[in-house]
Amino acid sequence: MIEEILWGRSPVRQESADSGGGFIERDGETYYRISNYDRMPPFFMTVVSGFDHWMFVSSTGGMTCGRRDPENALFPYETDDRIHDADATTGSRTVLLVRRGGQVFLWKPFAREAPVYEIERNLLKNLAGNRLVFEEINRGLGLAFSCEWSTSDRFGFVRKSTVRNTGEAEVRLELLDGLRNLLPFGVSRVLQSNMSTLLDAYKQAESHTELCAAIYTLSSIPSDRAEPSEALAATVAWGIGMDRPQLLLSEDQVAAFCAGTPVHGETFSRGKRGAFFLQSSLNLAPGAERTWYLLADVEQGPAQVPALFEAIRRGVSADAVDQDVARGTRRLLRLAGGADGCQLSSDPLVTARHFSNTLFNIMRGGTFYDGYRLPSADFLDFAGRRNGPVREKFAALPVLQRDRLALTELTAAARDAGDPHMERLVLEYLPLMFSRRHGDPSRPWNRFSIDLRNPDGSDRLHYEGNWRDIFQNWEGLAISYPEYIESFIARFVNASTADGYNPYRISREGFDWEVLDADDPWSNIGYWGDHQGNYLLRLLDLSRRYHPGKLGELLERELFVYANVPYRLKGYAALLKDPRNSVEYDAAEAADIAVRVAQTGSDGKLLALADGSICRVSLLEKLLVPALVKIGNFVPAGGIWMNTQRPEWNDANNALVGYGLSMVTLCYLRRYLVLLADLLEEHGSSSYTLSGELADFLGGLDRALSRHRAMRGGDVTAAERKAFMDELGALGEAYRTSVYAGFSGQKERVSKSGVLVFIRITLEYLDHSIARSRRPDGLYHTYRLVHFAADGHAVEDLGEMLEGQVAVLNSGCLGTAESLALLDALRASQLYRSDQDSYMLYPERNLPRFLDKNLIAPDLVEDNPWMQAELASGRSRFLVRDVNGAAHFKPQFRNAAELQAALRADPAVAEKDADELCGVYEAVFGHRHFTGRSGTMYKYEGLGCIYWHMVSKLALTIAETISAAARAGAGAPELERLCGHFDQVRNGLGMNKTPAAYGAFPIDPYSHTPAFAGVQQPGMTGQVKEDILTRFEELGVRVDHGAIAFEPILLRRAEFLTGPQSWRFPGQAGQQAGQQDGQQVAELPAGSLAFTLCGVPVIYRLADAPSIRLSTAQPEQLVIPGSSLGRYWTRSLCLREGQLRKIEVDVPRDAVR
């Protein structure tokens, strides 16, 4: 029995209700509500905006928000752990003195204090994601209070509060409500986090009581320089809806108010944190409610503040505020709807999560401004930033004299002009909007920026993202805008280097690379390798399916270029000596590049020939280079050697760099080569032109692989592996040397048959390595280690990882039965986490406790006379002995390299003794098997963690395996088992969990789930792209040979509506993403579901036989037997021409599950 505890004289209530979740209707919108959210551990949320607002909120009430970036914060921008704790100091605070029955009750809604009232706390979020509501129902007092956070383009940040009398008697309320820790303009992130107490010394606030408003400024911008630094913009807060409120500028009187002492208005505050509190009184009859608003905005200049105050004087109504918030909601619906984010089925969690996935996908990668209609002025701006002289050629084209033109028109005009660089720039032009450099308080290493507008207020066409993110977002977007697929490919290959890799960041302006900062331990340079093959092959596959023959048209045309990144990979011998330090930064080349950029534009970053002209090559050459470079780093029965100073998809495996071998990249390389061979087989040419340097590299690899073909028959010895690597390493070094010296511009012809033979031989090697990577438990090795020695290169296996299983399934190497065996083994493996019904990146393991760590085994000491003498001497230079007699290394030696450096610096230590002691260090700590952060942290990609992106990759891979098996004629039992595995993985995803099990709103994507908490890192995770693709796989949207077919295999019958329902979706395709027009409404019958594809509504209806009815611009419907649109209507749909108004698909009842 629980003992009663008193808070003063009031008993502390022992709450027992569990949290729950479900959808509700509120003020004309659908919300997901988490009931009793305070029973859950604190969780972190993002509130989205259609404009440049950002807002991150903890379920405790702590928060941060602002515009554009952390330098324009309304509340301090801190990491998520501190925001969880910030509810006591930052954000909103409400205090009510409730007069009822001759008594006065103190009520602080949402306060994390001992509960003395019978309360229920709920958290609600609308489906668009731009409204977050905290609600507290106080049954003891008969009152309910809610506050809603949202954003307004016109007014900034909006907090809408409502108090309702749920009791049976009138009640009088003394109310104090406000915002705390408001930041003035001019506060940098460094000042916020490192010098907040100094910052307070500069803060000042002034009230404008007649307007119920206040201004928050710095007396000057903090600086130690002997120069004035005026702060000429302000934060402004104001309120509407209260009767004659008192205005407080600080928290000084809050405690007094709680004690019943009257408060007095404040007109000026200085040297302390800013606050905006309004105090008022009101009477509420039974069932009555009162609503008021607190509004605040940042970076308000000397023209904006008077304009706002004049608007307040004239009267800003609550309706005006609500309408502007609603305008932001409509904008989000339009943006996500244009990318096919709107669906309706009987499972609202599925459709809500799809909308959220789509929205976050376009927030990172962008969405297209006006479909395939291009703004001429913006294109000319883009061309000028890339290449000034080429821009002038475009300016002379007649088609660019108009405000708008079609993508097809511009493409034809550039081709007719006969300038390959004009064609290249048209191919690379992507009129994307809404993209941003992403980050949030749970990703402190990322610096985000949301720059969505031009100075005139129009939508800014821009995109920016790191290579590892933006191309996967574009794959998800390509389903909705397939006519840009080849532009995505061109953007991809034209930003890759001649030595076979890609730079760090892609933007509209071009690309950027990392520069080493010696003072930043998170700074590094190098290349990620696996993303090239995986991301590019998926874009290539989309092109082949949507536009058969289009890649063939580009295969031989020299419209493509090389990025000139000033990194230089070392020679083969240097790589063997120190493979973790393999990349040198060429500062002189970087300086030359900067000069060329200043002269020409960002095309100055492209590789040039000796005469200064940009080196142009064919698409085939660009496709071959990354494949050949990876083949040059192939380690038989091992993987692809990771020797470019950067890890792969899981960058927490950062210590694999240098000695790691990737089966992940090998598997994707296999699929890439199969696709490349198919592309060549389909193409009519018998030979192709390549740069002479690449042709030599290809020929050398071909001869080397042919010489060593005997290795593919069984085990590979260390000596055989060394001989193979030495030969390929020398070829790779020779190729890089020629590239770094500068391409000669000479070309050679290579035969198609020779390239195909080379691919077939390579595939034999890769298949042999995949077969040799199968573990006894039925899983496949993901990464291995290579050990270099004079007599051979040995390979050592590492533990199982989820990433490797997904890669093998993706490789195309496994048949249906083998795929099933792998999935069965995966479910039975240590990667499975039963509490989440899902899969970790690697098995959970316990790290040694402190007293069990750094223990040198007695036998190691006994076998080493030098160690015995050192311990006996009492010098304690390298070793110490504890009171129990156990020997330890001194704590300053964090790794063997530091120990080795200290030993070499001591002349009294012989080289042999130093080497032996370092060997003991390795025996104690086992750093040979250290994979990086992944093996030492407990969040993110750490121990015990589920990384949802990889789980969703697994779900998509299984879905694609099912489709491939069905096309290959697999039997019903096999398909049923595969579908069972798909359901198991899908059911473990967040949308199928309760809020308590998931740890947050199930409709929102999150990055990962550690072993000890709910989901972490909301929003822009790579998972969203995988889930978008998986959803369309579920719906059975298939594209092949240029025709779309609707053939669901995975779709569940339970998703079809059980009764008629209205479906609201954005206006017809072809309109600008930024427009604010209304939505269309379709009445759906029972037995149907709906989604959009390329902006056109598609309605599935259960029927006896497949057929399609098309509603077009003509009055009569067109009926197509079967499930395929055919190439004509597919083309019309993909072009968003406006001919198709609606697609109704009869889905056979026996086709759904």
Q: How many structural domains comprise the chain?
A: 4
Burial degree of 268 (CB within 10 A; 0-12, 13-18, 19+): exposed
For 1098-1131, b/e burial (b = at least 16 CB within 10 A) is: bbbbbeeebbbebbbeeeeeeebeebbbeeebbb
What is the reported pLDDT for 1066?
Answer: 85
Residue 825 token pair: 């083994």
The number of C-alpha atoms within 13 Å of 211 and in the hemisphere containing its C-beta is 22
pLDDT tens-digit readout, 941-974: 999 999 999 999 999 999 999 999 999 999 999 9
Q: Answer whether residue 1 shows pLDDT above 70.
A: no
In a shared domain, residues 533 and 631:
yes
In a shared domain, residues 854 and 783:
no
Q: Answer whether residue 1070 shows pLDDT above 70.
A: no
Confidence of residue 409 (pLDDT cuts 50, 70, 90): very high
CA–CA distance, 958 with 1033 (Å, rounded to integer): 10
With respect to residue 278, please indicate whether it lies within any of the assigned structural domains.
yes
With respect to residue 166, please indicate whether it lies within any of the assigned structural domains.
yes
Query: Which residues, 6+ apart, have CB-to-CB distance to 1028 below 8 Å?
Result: 354, 357, 358, 361, 476, 479
Indicate the average pLDDT of the chain.
95
Confidence of residue 530 (pLDDT cuts 50, 70, 90): low
pLDDT tens-digit readout, 622-654: 999 999 999 999 999 999 999 999 888 788 888
Q: Answer whether residue 1152 shows pLDDT above 90.
A: yes
pLDDT tens-digit readout, 65-117: 999 999 999 999 999 999 999 999 999 999 999 998 889 999 999 999 988 99
Q: Answer whether residue 1072 shows pLDDT above 80.
A: no
In a shared domain, residues 742 and 866:
no
Q: Answer whether residue 1076 shows pLDDT above 50.
A: no
| Contact between 335 and 1073 (Cβ < 8 Å) | yes
983-1005: average pLDDT: 96
CA nearest neighbour of 1066 among 1080, 1048, 1052: 1080
Q: What is the DSSP string of 548-607?
A: TTHHHHHHS---B--B---EEEPPHHHHHH-TTS-EEE-HHHHHHHHHHHHHH-GGGGB-
CA nearest neighbour of 429 among 388, 379, 355, 481: 379
CA–CA distance, 958 with 1029 (Å, rounded to integer): 12
Provide the domain limits for residue 859. Answer: 850-933
With respect to residue 221, please indicate whether it lies within any of the assigned structural domains.
yes
In a shared domain, residues 54 and 175:
yes
With respect to residue 472, please indicate whether it lies within any of the assigned structural domains.
no
What is the reported pLDDT for 948?
Answer: 97
pLDDT tens-digit readout, 535-560: 999 999 999 999 999 999 999 999 99
In a shared domain, residues 662 and 563:
yes
In a shared domain, residues 787 and 895:
no
1125-1146: average pLDDT: 97
What is the reported pLDDT for 647?
Answer: 86
Confidence of residue 1075 (pLDDT cuts 50, 70, 90): very low
For 395-410, b/e burial (b = at least 16 CB within 10 A) is: eebebbeeeebebebb
Query: Which residues, 6+ apart, have CB-to-CB distance to 849 below 8 Å?
Result: none
Q: Answer whether residue 285 shows pLDDT above 50.
A: yes
Q: Map tokens 């840009």 to a residue.
A: 484
What is the reported pLDDT for 1020?
Answer: 86
CA–CA distance, 486 with 748 (Å, rounded to integer): 26
With respect to residue 88, please indicate whether it lies within any of the assigned structural domains.
yes
Confidence of residue 1071 (pLDDT cuts 50, 70, 90): very low
Give the global pTM. Answer: 0.96
Q: Which of 281, 303, 333 lies at the terminal end of a domain, its last residue?
A: 333
Confidence of residue 13 (pLDDT cuts 50, 70, 90): confident
665-681: average pLDDT: 97
Q: Answer whether residue 164 shows pLDDT above 50.
A: yes
In a shared domain, residues 854 and 914:
yes
Query: Which residues, 6+ apart, have CB-to-CB distance to 84 below 8 Å?
Result: 42, 44, 58, 60, 62
In a shared domain, residues 902 and 780:
no
What is the reported pLDDT for 1073?
Answer: 47
Q: Answer whether residue 472 shows pLDDT above 50.
A: yes
| Contact between 502 and 491 (Cβ < 8 Å) | no
Percent of the chain with pLDDT over 90: 90
In a shared domain, residues 806 and 855:
no
In a shared domain, residues 568 and 630:
yes
For 37-64, b/e burial (b = at least 16 CB within 10 A) is: bbbbebbbbbbbbbbbbbbbbbbbbbbb
With respect to residue 478, please indicate whether it lies within any of the assigned structural domains.
no
Phi/psi for 652 (5° steps) reads -75, -15
Residue 619 token pair: 């698409």
Give me the amino acid identity at 249: L
pLDDT tens-digit readout, 352-362: 999 999 999 99
CA nearest neighbour of 705 among 650, 628, 649, 771: 628
For 162-178, b/e burial (b = at least 16 CB within 10 A) is: bbbbbbeeebebbbbbb
With respect to residue 757, please indicate whether it lies within any of the assigned structural domains.
yes
Confidence of residue 529 (pLDDT cuts 50, 70, 90): low
- Helix axis angle for 348-365 and 467-478, nearest 10°, is 130
DSSP H or E run through 15 = none
680-705: average pLDDT: 97
DSSP H or E run through 477 = helix 467-478
pLDDT tens-digit readout, 781-822: 999 999 999 999 999 999 999 999 999 999 999 999 999 999
Is 979 in a helix, a strand, or coil?
helix
What is the reported pLDDT for 1078?
Answer: 65
What is the reported pLDDT for 646?
Answer: 87
CA–CA distance, 1009 with 1013 (Å, rounded to integer): 7
- The enclosing domain of 303 has a CATH number of 2.70.98.40
907-920: average pLDDT: 95
Q: Which of 271, 300, 333 lies at the terminal end of a domain, its last residue?
A: 333
Q: Answer whether residue 390 shows pLDDT above 80.
A: yes
210-225: average pLDDT: 94
In a shared domain, residues 786 and 902:
no
587-593: average pLDDT: 97
What is the reported pLDDT for 1106?
Answer: 98
1073-1081: average pLDDT: 61
pLDDT tens-digit readout, 821-830: 999 999 999 9
In a shared domain, residues 170 and 261:
yes
Q: Which of 933, 955, 981 lies at the terminal end of a domain, its last residue?
A: 933
What is the reported pLDDT for 1068?
Answer: 61
Q: Answer whether residue 1074 shows pLDDT above 70.
A: no
With respect to residue 589, please indicate whether it lies within any of the assigned structural domains.
yes
CA–CA distance, 580 with 521 (Å, rounded to integer): 15
Q: Among 389-393, 472-476, 1043-1047, 1063-1067, whose mean pLDDT is lowest?
A: 1063-1067
Q: Answer whether residue 1113 shows pLDDT above 50.
A: yes
pLDDT tens-digit readout, 923-942: 999 998 888 889 999 999 99
Is 896 in a helix, a strand, or coil?
helix
